[in-house]
Structure 1
């Protein structure tokens, strides 16, 4: 494949990375700030959301370094690339499992409410995040063991991992993502069947997560499905590297969207956002503040379960 095509592709991907970083870092940092400064948002679900935001922040920052490599056109050996992005691979694995844990969290709320309320928030969060930690640790450790000296076109997770480990990573992600969707559809059916008998705060949380899962399907799920599909089709060399690397668009969308979905669907987060930023004069008079105050059509909350159990 010609160097012109490769360089044009690199510039296109790098531009995407810089644009999404601006939006994504702003959104994810705001989730952390809102949780820290707003006691009513310190619930189990919100703590899990914070874990997801931390993962997304690290992923976005590592994508910037990837963009720099793309602009310069530097090609590295896998044993140089992998150690440089191993932390990124850890958190890119973790964020996929945390999304599943958010749906499992809702499952526990619906079917094991008493246990859910009795477990302390911090202990609950640690237990739920231990699963992403174990999955990420296994993938990174295997990638380290399978490192070789092959020269690779792009220094990113699908290419930086050894092909065998990369296939495991993409296939396991597709499996987890599919299970996430199946579990969520099951919960939708259960809550629809229960109707008004279900707690109102659970139904409101369900409405917000419904949008998150839909966006998740068209972002991270599409990313991992594309990476796995191109490998399954038998593509190799620069063609495979370019196609897999362009799946970064869906990954960037995944890293960026949670805050904006939450802000759209949750009036409680909107009010907290207004309170947080109202100390700035420019925000007080901005159209954004006025729009957020008017947009009360959808009154959902992140989770109104007690933050102290």
Structure 2
């Protein structure tokens, strides 16, 4: 393939990685800080969200070495690349299943409210995080078993994994994502059927999760679907590597979006964010602060997340 096209593609992807790292790290770290410093935001759902943010932080940071490789044009063997990104692959697998667990969490709120209220927050979150951990550990372990010394064009999960394991990873992710969407569509149907009978705090959580799932469909789902589709079409060599690597745009969007969706949909989080950052003089009179305060409503009602408190 034309070396100019390959180099241009590498530089473009590298700039994408750097740009989304700045936005994504700021957002995910803020979710963790707000949950830590604002006790009213702590709940079963928020703990799951924190687990998702931690996964996204690792995913973003591990994309940075890939940007360096793209800038320098270095090529590695799979048995050098895979160990270097194995932690990244662990968290990239975990975050997909955690997204499913957030939808399962809403399912539990709607259908098993009494049981949901009785279980301790941390115990509940730890239980739901078992599946992401098992799936991630299995994928990484299989990656080490099948690792070979083939020279690869890019050091990223679709290429760093052995083709057999990579195919499993992409297909299983598509399956997990499809279950996530199907379960969420089912919940939307239930909410429309029940109408105003549903608790107001649950409806607020549903509205916020709607946006997250829509963005999820057009980010992570598109990423894994694209990776799997290009392989299913029979593409090979540099053409397959370039097309699969460009799916990183959707992955980066997925790692970056949660905080900005929450900030947009939750006036409580907006006010908490303003309070947290108002300690810095440069933020006090800034335009973002004024906009956040204007759009945030004064809360005199129960928090969206209070339903999951114990």
- TM-score (norm: length of structure 2): 0.97
Given the alignment of the two structures, is residue 271 of structure 1 paired with residue 271 of structure 2, yes or no? yes
When residues 231 and 117 of structure 1 are mapped into structure 2, their CA distance, relative to the original with a 3 A threshold, is same
1:209 matched to 2:209: yes
Q: Distance in 2 between matches of 1:77 and 1:208?
A: 43
Aligned pairs (5 A) from 1:152-231: 152-231=152-231
Alignment root-mean-square deviation, CA: 1.3
Query: What corresponds to 1:303 in structure 2?
Result: 305
1:142 aligns with 2:142: yes
Query: d(CA) in 1 for partners of 2:303 and 2:37?
Result: 17
In the TM superposition, residue 298 of structure 1 has moved relative to its aligned partner by 11
1:90-129 counterparts in 2 under 5 A?
90-129=90-129
Measure, in 2, the Cα distance between the counterparts of 1:73 and 1:230: 23
Cα deviation 1:189-208 (Å, max 9, x = unaligned): 10111111111110000000
Counterpart Cα distance in 2 of 1:229 and 1:306: 39
Q: Secondary structure at the match of 2:296?
A: coil
Q: How far does the alpha carbon of each residue in 1:75-105 deviate from its partner, in whole angstroms, 9 at most, with x for none? A: 0000110000000000000000000000000
Task: State the alpha-carbon separation in 1 of the partners of residues 231 and 163 from structure 2.
Answer: 9
> What are the superposed Cα offsets for residues 254-303 of structure 1, whole Å, 9 maximum, x if unpaired?
00000000000001100100110011111110011110011137989551
* CA–CA distance in structure 1, aligned partners of residues 86 and 306 of structure 2: 37
Hey, what does 1:79 align to over in structure 2?
79
In the alignment, the residues of structure 2 paired with residue 186 and residue 219 of structure 1 have an alpha-carbon distance, to the nearest angstrom, of 21
Cα separation, 2, equivalents of 1:285 and 1:125: 38
Assess if the C-alpha contact under 8 Å between 2:100 and 2:177 holds in 1.
yes
Give ranges in structure 2 of 5+ residues lacking alignment: none
| Maintained 8 Å contact 1:267/1:301 | no
Is the partner of 2:279 in helix, strand or coil? coil
**Quick one: distance in 2 between partners of 1:167 and 1:7?**
26
SS at match of 1:305: helix
- Aligned pair count? 308
The residue number in structure 1 matching 2:60 is 60
Segments of structure 1 that go 5 or more residues without pairing to the other structure are: none
